[in-house]
Amino acid sequence: MSKATRTDTQSPAPRVADSHDLIRVHGARVNNLKDVSVELPKRRLTVFTGVSGSGKSSLVFDTIAAESQRLINETYSAFVQGFMATPARPEVDVLEGLTTAIIVDQQRMGANPRSTVGTATDANAMLRILFSRLGQPHIGPPSAFAFNVPSVRASGAITVERGAKKAVKATYTRTGGMCIRCEGRGTVSDIDLTQLYDDSKSIAEGAFTIPGWKSDSFWTVRLYAESGFLDPDKPIREYTEKEMHDFLHREPSKVKVEGVNLTYEGLIPKIQKSFLAKDKEALQPHIRAFVERAVTFTTCPECDGTRLGEAARSSKIKGISIADACAMQISDLADWVRGLDEPSPGASSGRHSTVAPLLAALRQILDSFVEIGLGYLSLDRPSGTLSGGEAQRVKMIRHLGSALTDVTYVFDEPTIGLHPHDIQRMNDLLLRLRDKGNTVLVVEHKPEVIAIADHIVDLGPGAGTEGGTVCFEGTVEGLRAGGTLTGRHLDDRAALKETVRKPADWLEIRGATANNLRNVDVDIPLGVLCVVTGVAGSGKSSLVHGSIPADAGVVAVDQSPIRGSRRSSPATYTGLLDPIRKAFAKANGVKPALFSANSEGACPTCNGAGVVYTDLAMMADVASTCEECEGKRFQASVLEYRLGGRDISEVLAMPVAEAEEFFGAGEARTPAAQRILARLIDVGLGYLTLGQPLTTLSGGERQRLKLATLPQPSAGGTPRAEKGGVYVLDEPTTGLHLADVRQLLGLLDRLVDSGKSVIVIEHHQAVMAHADWIIDLGPGAGHDGGRIVFEGTPADLVAARSTLTGEHLAAYIGC
């Protein structure tokens, strides 16, 4: 939420005739906006441009869309509103001509592990009705095909397990399709033992590889070594069956170590309690990385990952079960559903006629997927595995068929994840939404999208406090001629490099078959900048994330959400808070824990979140600023302590760039903090405030944050020998202004020059042109992709012009 203060509710001024076709924003001051006023033409396509942190989202999402949603909330009855926290009105003087705003952003689609592409759209609901009508044998109502509805056991006893207790009454009369073993998740979790110890060593030789488990630590290593249940001098792989059982699984048992009574328990329950049960984001970065490595998920053996019980899988239409249908590539499923049109001889004509409208609706939704370039997905794909761009396009599906008009659609970089070849199709969709009579607002950096705008609002000139003003408003021609940073860079063209680096070594991948890969053999060059290209769904991620051997020391730096509490911020995530807390504690002679918003010093009302959330079952959560601490997160007494004249909440409110100076000299000088801050500046995040909730960061910002927490390159190491020597990035230009792409390329060059290997999945042609080596996948998406269509230098790719990527890159560099 914005830092807006609550002002008296002001109803929009009455419309006057000439303002009728405009959305007027006057005096917007959310986040860094400095009294911004703009007039946006309705039923037109407006693109918002400007460097990262200039205030685009503050204007579009936190002001315009937020106010529209607040006004909609106000239309609920007083009774319903009684359950809702009133979100603060965005800090803006006048906002008029608003229509209902629908936000189509890249936020992950719910953290629910049971959410799939099919459940997030209406496709699964339609398929369930279809199978309940036409499936043989007939097994019951649509819910019998629902993996989210628990099933009644044959004995009649209801099976509702952990966490779902509240559902008991509601589901008692229903028969669901949920697989009992995995509770409809399709996977079961496991601990990867190889991450816990090296079984070729004995405990005495230091077999444990768990962070913090040093050979002399009393509660951990010595407890195992001296428990008497196992031989500390025997390599773990030589343990007897009994030793192994005691080592991994033994129930809590009393033991005496050096005269002290301790409780011994098996390694697995011990790890579960001491690491896995904790709030992951509260962990230090290296421990968090350990937890991410150590927990693995495997396909549920009972349902084979389909999430469905046996009965639901037994009912079929033309030999296909609902699980089979959901596993098909959507473009194939669309064809199959089209085939269901013919009257099936067995079905009674009455029953058949009732499914015709359903089939038509199902067909329409499946065709929308194909049209939007997502035909390569399957309905059973967990929503959480979608990239930000894919999630955004899945959300778009709901709106394409909608009959609503005069809606304001708000998009956040809709071209993310799209090959230059696919951008045209996205542009067509945006224009189609507009031509149905809707207002379309788009935050975008790509020149191809800026080019189709009816109206452009360019924010800047810089980021954070240096931004927040409108630098230009008008047409594309005007922008180009206008001399703003965006205008100047609009026609930027990167040239191919004169010389490319020579690979130091190669990483051989043989017979890769992850997802759609067709037995791919490819050599990935090490010690260079290697760019992986191809249309969305061609198999780039499957190759890079799914096929590189685990022992290659690959570190993935992606845009995936950083899970954790609402108190997580750049300061907690990067470990920056530790030196800051210590510096505060030292300066004031008190405990460091006081200065942490998730422990002792926290405001008791909001528990250190700064906002109070109201959980609305049906709608998104509503947050409002905590009245006790006024959003400062700390107890008043903690704010008495100062460092360099600032209290902890003031320090957490500083932008990174300002904090870097603050901790650089004077009383507050803290080199450990300054080092981390300098790295954040390096990745272009100097405008973020230290305490900004991670939930407010975009995918691109998250990725750059992760980039900043990578182990520092140590010069001269050989790429393969050094663990973590291969960095894999996924569209690092996401959210970056054209003007900042060069800075990113500089950062990647520095990584490579320090001896690292950098593999980048990218669609940005400036990055392709800058590559030492390109691996191009295709030719199409899903089962039409999965092959290597080119590998070599960018110059050779352009010269051959044998692939879509080659054609586009050639056109881009102007040859």
Question: Using the rule CB under 6 A, is 538 a contact of ligand ADP?
Answer: yes
Residue that has been written with the tokens 């979608």 in this structure: 386
Instruction: Choose the stretch contacting Zn ion; rule: CB under 5 A; options: 255-263, 284-292, 343-351, 604-612.
Output: 604-612
Question: Using the rule CB under 6 A, is 540 a contact of ligand ADP?
Answer: yes
Least distance to Zn ion, CB of residue 572, Å? 17
Question: Using the rule CB under 6 A, is 185 a contact of ligand ADP?
Answer: no
Closer to Zn ion at the Cβ: 178 or 804? 178
**Contact mark string toward ligand ADP, 449..478, x via CB under 6 A:** ---------------x--------------
Burial-class residue 732 by CB neighbours within 10 Å (0-12, 13-18, 19+): buried
Q: How many CA atoms lie within 13 A of 621 on its CB side?
A: 11
Question: Using the rule CB under 6 A, is 574 a contact of ligand ADP?
Answer: no
In this structure, the strands spanning 455-460 and 45-49 are parallel
List the single partner that 184 binds among ligand ADP, Zn ion, none, CB under 5 to 8 Å by kind: none
Question: Using the rule CB under 5 A, is 813 a contact of Zn ion?
Answer: no
Max Cα-Cα span within the chain: 88
Among 381, 489, 706, 720, binds ligand ADP (CB under 6 A): 381
Give me the sign of the Cα torsion angle 365, 371, 373, 375.
positive
Least distance to ligand ADP, CB of residue 289, Å? 21
Instruction: Choose the stretch contacting ligand ADP; rule: CB under 6 A; options: 50-58, 159-167, 625-633, 642-650.
Output: 50-58
Question: Using the rule CB under 5 A, is 576 a contact of Zn ion?
Answer: no
Instruction: Choose the stretch contacting ligand ADP; rule: CB under 6 A; options: 236-244, 377-385, 497-505, 618-626.
Output: 377-385
Proportion of the chain in helix, strand, coil states, percent, rounded to 5: 40, 20, 45
Among 175, 306, 542, 703, binds ligand ADP (CB under 6 A): 542
Residue 560 tokens, joined: 């995936």
Question: Using the rule CB under 6 A, is 805 a contact of ligand ADP?
Answer: no
CA distance 458 to 738: 13
List the single partner that 628 binds among ligand ADP, Zn ion, none, CB under 5 to 8 Å by kind: Zn ion
Least distance to Zn ion, CB of residue 603, Å? 3
Residue 415 neighbours by CB under 8 Å, 6+ apart: 389, 422, 423, 426, 444, 446, 448, 449, 763
CA distance 512 to 792: 19
CA-nearest of 452, 435, 444, 440 to 407 is 440
DSSP summary character for residue 784: G
Question: Using the rule CB under 5 A, is 182 a contact of Zn ion?
Answer: yes
Least distance to ligand ADP, CB of residue 98, Å? 19
Least distance to Zn ion, CB of residue 378, Å? 17
List the single partner that 182 binds among Zn ion, ligand ADP, none, CB under 5 to 8 Å by kind: Zn ion
CA distance 108 to 389: 10
CA-nearest of 778, 131, 759, 49 to 472 is 49
Instruction: Choose the stretch contacting ligand ADP; rule: CB under 6 A; options: 55-63, 70-78, 206-214, 660-668.
Output: 55-63
Residue that has been written with the tokens 């409208």 in this structure: 357
Question: Using the rule CB under 5 A, is 652 a contact of Zn ion?
Answer: no
Footprint of Zn ion on residues 271-300 (CB under 5 A)?
300
Among 408, 439, 541, 635, binds ligand ADP (CB under 6 A): 541
CA angle 804, 525, 718 (to 5 degrees): 155
Q: How many CA atoms lie within 13 A of 423 on its CB side?
A: 22
CA angle 548, 553, 554 (to 5 degrees): 55
CA distance 683 to 324: 44
Other CB atoms within 10 A of residue 17 CB:
6
Least distance to ligand ADP, CB of residue 392, Å? 14
E-strand stretches of 272-426: 295-299, 316-317, 320-321, 408-412
Least distance to ligand ADP, CB of residue 580, Å? 18
CA-nearest of 736, 796, 784 to 760 is 736
DSSP summary character for residue 64: I
Among 6, 15, 153, 181, binds Zn ion (CB under 5 A): 181
CA-nearest of 709, 705, 754, 757 to 734 is 705
Least distance to ligand ADP, CB of residue 564, Å? 16
Among 537, 564, 610, 732, binds ligand ADP (CB under 6 A): 537
Among 35, 122, 505, 628, binds Zn ion (CB under 5 A): 628
CA distance 170 to 154: 19
Residue 104 contacts residue 409 (beta carbons within 8 Å): yes
Question: Using the rule CB under 6 A, is 52 a contact of ligand ADP?
Answer: yes
**How far is residue 269 from each of residues 161, 190, 229, 273, 283, measured CA to CA in Å?**
20, 12, 16, 6, 19
**Contact mark string toward ligand ADP, 655..694, x via CB under 6 A:** --------------------------------xxx--x--
Instruction: Choose the stretch contacting Zn ion; rule: CB under 5 A; options: 521-529, 552-560, 571-579, 629-637.
Output: 629-637
Question: Using the rule CB under 6 A, is 49 a contact of ligand ADP?
Answer: no
CA-nearest of 545, 537, 544 to 330 is 537
Question: Using the rule CB under 6 A, is 56 a contact of ligand ADP?
Answer: yes
Least distance to ligand ADP, CB of residue 214, Å? 37
Closer to Zn ion at the Cβ: 125 or 612? 612
Least distance to ligand ADP, CB of residue 30, Å? 8
Question: Using the rule CB under 6 A, is 718 a contact of ligand ADP?
Answer: no
Other CB atoms within 10 A of residue 154 CB:
7
Among 38, 47, 54, 566, binds ligand ADP (CB under 6 A): 54
Residue 216 contacts residue 223 (beta carbons within 8 Å): no
Which residues contact ligand ADP (rule: CB under 6 A)? 3, 31-32, 50, 52-58, 376-377, 381, 385, 464, 515-516, 534, 536-542, 687-689, 692, 696, 782
Which residues contact Zn ion (rule: CB under 5 A)? 179, 181-182, 300, 302-303, 603, 605-606, 626, 628-629
